[in-house]
Each structure stands twice: as structure tokens, then as C-alpha cells.
Amino acid sequence: MRIILYAGKGGVGKTTMSAATGVECARRGNRTLVMSLDPAHSLSDSFDLPGSLMGFGGGQPVAVDENLWIQELDLQRELEENWGEVFRYLASLLRTTGLREVLADELAILPGMEEVACLLYINRYAREKKFDVVVLDCAPTGEAMRFISLPTSLEWYMRKIFKLERNIMRVVRPVAKRLTSLPLPDDDYFEAIQRLFGRLEGIEKLLRDPAITTARLVTNPERMVLRETQRAFTYFHLFDVTVDAIVINRILPPAVQDEFFAKWRESQRGYIEEAESYFAPVPLWQVELGRREMLGRAELGRLASSLFKDKDPADVFFTGKAFEFTKSDGRYVLSIRAPFLKSGEIDLMKNNDELIVRVGSFKRFVALPRRVAALEPSAATLEGGHVRIVFGGSPDGQEDG
């Protein structure tokens, strides 16, 4: 099964790109599912479907064309089917604080529940081999980062904390019940978590396999949007999820020559050039602003033809990493892929959380993670087709502080 994530800032066109990709994959004969991870679902609107049609789906896949299904998760149904004991315990705990029942039920829906529900479906579809391609229309960047980080966090919790917490609660529960009126989690609560984790087993490997899962970042040629896309690019790298394409959407077409848009055209050209420096060697696809909304399968098909041309959207368009962060001897190391560079003086400039690297005509921008952004680069070398930059410490190997 092939998994393709479309991520980016809210409003850049992720849903439209996801839907167009699904249409083209299905046209090529792949059993394709497009799944919305955004709580504010708009996938059915993209396909210009009546709301009642999705309502009958009940959060399950709905066939919209030959080889093509779409799915918008129903969180209430997921709570009932997958989070029953956990949700009931949290809600009862909140009610003891004096919150009204409706408010307690609402607050008991913790961040991450929807993402876990999506992971459960993906894992199930992979095991059942139900679909050839699953296209994920991710929520805005922050939620998308939570989605890809959840498998690692859950794995850590289950291996390090869960068994200890469960055993301690078995011992203290009889005594604690006599000392407090607060509800304590019983064994059904822990059993529910255990079952959930069992159904998620293997999902981390699935998401980290670049032959199966890749992300495509959708952006617009605007400063704020491009900056957020750059940060998302960095964090996908940190979580070992391969980004195989960048989609720059809503570019003014050459036919728009009105003087009113002259400054827009000029600024867009500049931001597209910046994007090439940010994301190379990852392929960068440009999509022009359309004359109308891309609604319905016909319009989505036309967009897919323009976006992919003769390419198969299910292919992997880039393998490896444009850069990688590691830690060595207590210091952070940034390795930037530069296979054609043999020699040259390395020039570094750091501006807040952004590092600009120049080697001759080679220029790269890298958005630094917060921990690394707090440090200064102390050494830079060119080794085996990679620019290697060390943060913290000093060039002679002595560590700061």
C-alpha cells in the first residue's frame, strides 16, 4: 500500500491537491482512498458532494467513482468504538470538578484522539490490503506534526510508563478509594489502552518507510506561508518522514498582465526562487491560480493533468533527505546533501531560527529546530558530498558552558 500525506498551512489548497491526486490515482486503476484528517472536513465539498451523502457514510469510506473512495472521520463514533473506557473515565473525572456534564464530555476529547483514530484505520487498511493508495488530507501544520509524532510518543509511553502505571494502580486503588472520592482508573481503562496499542502496532514502521509513505507540502508564494512550509519541512525530516515533493499553489498565470497585479507577479517570482533554495533537491511543482474553484471530479481531473502531466502520482519522486540533524558528543550536527560540491569556502549566516549556507554558487536555507536555533554554529566542513555543520561547543572540540 502506498501512503501520501498532503500537509501545509491552513488554506493553501491541501484538500484540493489531495482530492486531485486521488482522482488521478483512481483513473490509473489503483484502488484509492482519500481520507480527511482535518476536524473541519471539506473533502466532500471538494468533490462537490451533498452533505447528506457523507452523512450516510458514518465516518466510513464512501465510493465516489470507480476505484475511488473518500472518508471523513466521525469523532463521536470513534470515541464510542475505540475510546469507550478511556473517554468515560476522563469525563467522570472532569465532572467531579463541578463541570456540567455536557462540558465535561466535550473536554474529555483530548488532543490526538482524532489522529489516533486515523492511524488505526491506516494500519487496518494496510493489514487488510484494502486499498492500493491512501491519500491523507492533513490538518494544518501543527496538527500534522502531532499526527506523525504520535506513533513514537505512544511507543515510548507503552514501553516505559504503561505497565508501571497499571501495576501501581492495582496496588494503591483499594487504599486510595477509601481516602478520596475522585474516580480512579480501573483495569478496564488500562485494558482499553492496551487493545488500542495492539491495533496500532507496526504503524510507526509503516510511516517511516520511504518506499510506502511520503509527504508532499503544499504552499503559496507568500512570505508567511513559505516560512511555515520551511519549518514543516524541517520537522518532517526530524521525524524521518520523507518529503518527496513541494507544491507551490496559486501562482498568477502569464495571461494575467493587468498592472494591478504587477507587484504580485514580481513578489511571487521572488518567493518561487527562494523556495528552490529552501527545498532543493526535492522536486518543486508549480500550480497556477485557476479561473474558478476546483470542485467536482471533472475539475479535479483537469487539475491532476496539469499537476502530474505524464507522471504517476503514486510514484516516489525523491528518496533520501535534503538534510539531517543528529547529535554527536553532546553537540547537534546538521548534514546538508550537496553531492556535486567538491570544495569551496563555507559561508554561514544565522538569522534567528534560520541558517543560510553558501558554498560558491550553492545556497541553502534551513529552518532550525528550537533547541538548535538557540546555539551558534561552531564548525563547518565539506565531507563526502555533504556540508556538515556543528552547533554548540567550539571548533577545537571544547563544549560550551
324-333 pLDDT tens trace: 999 988 899 9
The C-alpha atoms of residue 32 and residue 65 are separated, in whole angstroms, by: 10
pLDDT of residue 167: 73
pLDDT class of 139 with cuts at 50, 70, 90: confident
At residue 337, φ and ψ (nearest 5 deg) are -70, 125
Cell numbers at residue 301, please? Answer: 481531473
What's the whole-model pTM score? 0.80
Cell numbers at residue 100, please? Answer: 456540567
pLDDT tens-digit profile of 71-126?
A: 988 766 766 666 655 656 556 655 666 666 665 555 555 556 677 788 889 999 99
At residue 376, φ and ψ (nearest 5 deg) are -100, 145
Q: Tell me how far CA of residue 266 lies from CA of 48, 257, 262, 285, 308, in angstroms.
A: 34, 12, 6, 19, 26
Q: Classify strands 362-367 and 323-328 as parallel, antiparallel or unpaired.
A: unpaired
Please report the beta strands in 220-328, taking only residues with DSSP state E, as ranges in sequence order. 242-251, 284-288, 323-328
Fold of 2-74+110-147+203-308: Rossmann fold (3.40.50)
Give the residue, 362 or 187, on which the prediction is more confident.
362
> In the chain, where does the domain assigned CATH 2.60.40.790 lie?
323-391
Judging by beta carbons within 10 Å of its beta carbon (0-12, 13-18, 19+), is residue 168 exposed, middle or buried? Answer: exposed
> In the chain, where does the domain assigned CATH 3.40.50.300 lie?
2-74+110-147+203-308
User: What's domain 323-391's architecture?
Assistant: Sandwich (2.60)
The C-alpha atoms of residue 375 and residue 279 are separated, in whole angstroms, by: 23
Q: What is the mean pLDDT of residues 188-208?
A: 81
The C-alpha atoms of residue 188 and residue 72 are separated, in whole angstroms, by: 29
- What is the distance of C-alpha 187 from the center of its chain? 34
pLDDT at 400 over 50: no
